[in-house]
Amino acid sequence: MPTGAITSYIDVAQLTLYAFWLFFAGLIFYLRREDKREGYPLVSDLPHEQGIVGYPNLPTPKTFILPHGGTVMAPRPEARETFAAVPSAPWPGAPLVPTGNPMIDGVGAAAYAMRSDEPELEWDSKPKIVPLRTWREYSLAAEDPDLIGYTVVGADGVVAGSIVDAWIDRSEAQLRYIEVALTAPLPARTVLMPSGYASLSRKKREAHVYALLGAQFGDVPGLRKPDTVSLREEDRISAYFAGGLLYATPDRAEPLL
């Protein structure tokens, strides 16, 4: 046998297979641990239990550099959240029953994520979603209705206000939000409404909103700055309107059968 000719008495194909198995097992272990950087430890429904981690354990904290400046560490310690709802039964996973106004408290269909309280930025480090009044180079398509001045009507037929501006997504050239100026007896302020919740009537120049009653527009989450909307504000606004589909009236929360 020539010197070094190990392939004549070692099954190279089998060794390759074993090496692949070891590599693949290591890859699964690595990916399973890395996906625990966000959202872990899990929060248990039982008050006497601590956070649930499972196997494998959490990875070592790592600091990430954000594209537009700043850093974030993951995983990171996070305080246990409290919310205005109680379990409907004593076992884990039981549905939650709101104890207050779920649309304001962010419960169930009105729940939202605690994302960054800063606007989402485009490649040029400028806000991605902006009102047309601040970006004159954008405009609504000529074949679309001019929304400014449309009356906003709730599901109960009560007028909530009128449309004063449109907010567009600069990256996708889409209408994202409609800015509504509330009218008395609602507070004198403007609120954003996701454009998908408005059903337009060109003939009457009205925007009908099934998700909310007229008076409920007064509690739509507001903005910290008049010309920008943060990621967290987007989530809260969208959650409020989504929650209205289930919680706006008592009968919506009941089963159909």
Q: Tell me what the mean pLDDT of segment 147-170 comes to.
A: 93
Q: Mean of the per-residue pLDDT values for the chain?
A: 88
Cα dihedral 236, 238, 240, 243 sign: negative
Q: Per mean pLDDT, which range of 43-47, 71-75, 134-138, 178-182 is the poorest?
A: 43-47
State residue 113's pLDDT score: 85
What is the distance between the alpha carbons of residues 217 and 230, in angstroms, rounded to a whole number? Answer: 20
State residue 67's pLDDT score: 81
Model confidence over 57-95: pLDDT tens digits?
999 999 999 887 788 898 888 777 777 888 888 887 788
Decide if pLDDT at 5 tops 70: no
Q: Per mean pLDDT, which range of 72-86, 142-156, 193-207 is the poorest?
A: 72-86
Domain 110-253 CATH superfamily: Photosynthetic Reaction Center, subunit H, domain 2 (3.90.50.10)
Percent of the residues in the chain that have a pLDDT greater than 90, as a whole number: 49
- H helices of 152-256, in order, are 231-247
Model confidence over 206-222: pLDDT tens digits?
999 999 999 999 999 99
Give the predicted TM-score (pTM) of the model: 0.78
246 φ/ψ angles, rounded to the nearest 5 degrees: -110, -30
What is the distance between the alpha carbons of residues 109 and 100, in angstroms, rounded to a whole number? Answer: 14
State residue 210's pLDDT score: 94
Decide if pLDDT at 160 tops 80: yes
User: Of residues 173 and 130, which shows the higher confidence score?
Assistant: 130
Say if CB 213 and CB 248 are below 8 A apart: yes
Contacts of 140 (CB under 8 A, 6+ apart): 132, 146, 147, 166, 175
User: Of residues 205 and 53, which shows the higher confidence score?
Assistant: 205
Domain boundaries, the chain: 110-253
What is the distance between the alpha carbons of residues 245 and 109, in angstroms, rounded to a whole number? Answer: 8
Could you tell me the two tokens for 81? 């959240």
Model confidence over 122-138: pLDDT tens digits?
888 889 999 999 988 88
Decide if pLDDT at 6 tops 80: no
What is the distance between the alpha carbons of residues 84 and 74, in angstroms, rounded to a whole number? Answer: 28
What is the distance between the alpha carbons of residues 164 and 182, in angstroms, rounded to a whole number? Answer: 10
State residue 51's pLDDT score: 75
Model confidence over 90-120: pLDDT tens digits?
887 788 888 888 898 888 889 888 888 889 9
State residue 138's pLDDT score: 83
Amino acid letter for position 222: G
Q: Per mean pLDDT, which range of 137-146, 207-216, 238-247 is the poorest?
A: 137-146
